[in-house]
Structure 1
């Protein structure tokens, strides 16, 4: 079998994966706090038909070798954690991180999840939860009869309760950062989990130790650039077509060979 058939097949498969990544980015262009993904490619093993530097005579060496590559493979999808735009929502429970860091969320199994999505709400018990109903760490409950809620830049939550003019402190939002945020494991619902690649979470107060500040009444938009993704989509389509053309050409060459 001609190697070009297999090589072009790996190219088509890799471009299919690239298109999946681009489609996922475009599908989440309106998702709060979403961070775009990028497929990373790697060339496959080489057939070493002529070793570079081999001796041709006792005194001479080959300046170049003969190495035939066997295609390409997608080895990873890296996530770009650049800051998304801040969009004013007017909702007192909407908060955005301006800078580095993640909100801590208590997952159903008791472990901690991490998110940039600050579209929080209140549940039936008055707890501050995510749009999926998961409690925001460390567990803040808003008392009944609350007239207004304030969240400072350093994450302190306070409320003015009916019959009182002084704000009542309710707690502080927990935030963490990671040495390698790209190593976090995505689990859906705008959530990530700690992994061996991300390193341990480094907890802190918003606005300190490199953590961003909290902006009440704002939401962080997706950092997907639609124009850039469309350009990547066209490039992917062209690369797929060229690999398909290589398979057709190889097939025609084999047909000619069988007629000889």
Structure 2
């Protein structure tokens, strides 16, 4: 088989993976707290027919002959730039401005992390996220609370009947990671710690490089539609060029087989 066919096959597969990532980005353009993906490629091993740097007969140094064998996907990477802050005027909506994640506890007791601040109060008065997972540390809102205030520093307080001063209910914290791109995306706007992300570091919003909270707002997706459309067109053209190489290599093989008859 013509090696060009195998090489162009890797190019087709690589661009197919890139298109899948672009499609996912565009599908989540309105998902709260979504972070776009990008695909990382690298070239495959090389066939060395002549060693670079080898001395040739006339005492000159050869550049060698190195024939590549295509491309493959190294991995995907989450881009954790901030999305735009959208005002909702809903008292339980919280946007994170800067670094950090809200920590929630999953049903199996493990921790997960999210940038989506669509909070609500469950039947037990516990502050939970949109999926009903309780925040960590847990905050309970009294049944007679008239209003809820969430400060930029994460302090949650409620106005209750018979009290002129707000009652402090607890402190929301934010969790940061040395390498947030190493977090595992679990769906449902949740991320999970991995060995690549490093250990979670929990702290009060607004301190030690941790972001702040904004009540009555949500962080939008950081997907830029125009940028994704340009990348999609480029990936489509590259896909087409690789298929043309496949077709050209096939025509060359047909020509050789006919010439050999």
Q: Which runs of 4+ in 1 moved over 4 A?
A: none
Partner in structure 2 of residue 11 of structure 1: 11
Moved more, 87-96 or 165-174: 165-174
| Secondary structure class of the residue paired with 2:196 | coil
Partner in structure 2 of residue 234 of structure 1: 233
Q: Deviations over 1:159-196 (max 9, x none)?
A: 01233332111101121111111111111111111111
* Aligned-residue offset at 1:62: 3.2
Residues in 2 aligned to 1:36 and 1:144: alpha-carbon distance in whole angstroms: 39
| Secondary structure class of the residue paired with 1:124 | coil
Residues in 1 aligned to 2:163 and 2:91: alpha-carbon distance in whole angstroms: 19
* Aligned-residue offset at 1:145: 1.5
Moved more, 60-69 or 208-217: 60-69
Residues in 2 aligned to 1:243 and 1:51: alpha-carbon distance in whole angstroms: 28
| Secondary structure class of the residue paired with 1:219 | strand
After TM superposition, the structure 1 = structure 2 runs for residues 205-224 of structure 1, keeping only pairs within 5 Å, are: 205-224=204-223
Q: Deviations over 1:6-55 (max 9, x none)?
A: 00000000000000000000010000011111001100011011111123
Partner in structure 1 of residue 248 of structure 2: 249
Partner in structure 2 of residue 137 of structure 1: 136
| Secondary structure class of the residue paired with 1:243 | helix
Partner in structure 2 of residue 119 of structure 1: 118
After TM superposition, the structure 1 = structure 2 runs for residues 8-157 of structure 1, keeping only pairs within 5 Å, are: 8-57=8-57, 60-157=59-156
Partner in structure 2 of residue 196 of structure 1: 195
Kindly indicate whether residue 178 of structure 2 is the aligned counterpart of residue 179 of structure 1: yes
Q: Deviations over 1:54-103 (max 9, x none)?
A: 2323x724330101100000111111111111000111110011111111
- TM-score, normalised with respect to structure 2: 0.97
- TM-score, normalised with respect to structure 1: 0.97
Residues in 2 aligned to 1:178 and 1:56: alpha-carbon distance in whole angstroms: 53
* Aligned-residue offset at 1:157: 0.3
Moved more, 157-166 or 170-179: 157-166
| Secondary structure class of the residue paired with 2:242 | helix
Question: For the aligned residues, what is the CA RMSD?
Answer: 1.0
8 Å CA contact 1:53–1:61 kept in 2: the answer is no
Residues in 1 aligned to 2:85 and 2:184: alpha-carbon distance in whole angstroms: 24
| Secondary structure class of the residue paired with 2:8 | helix
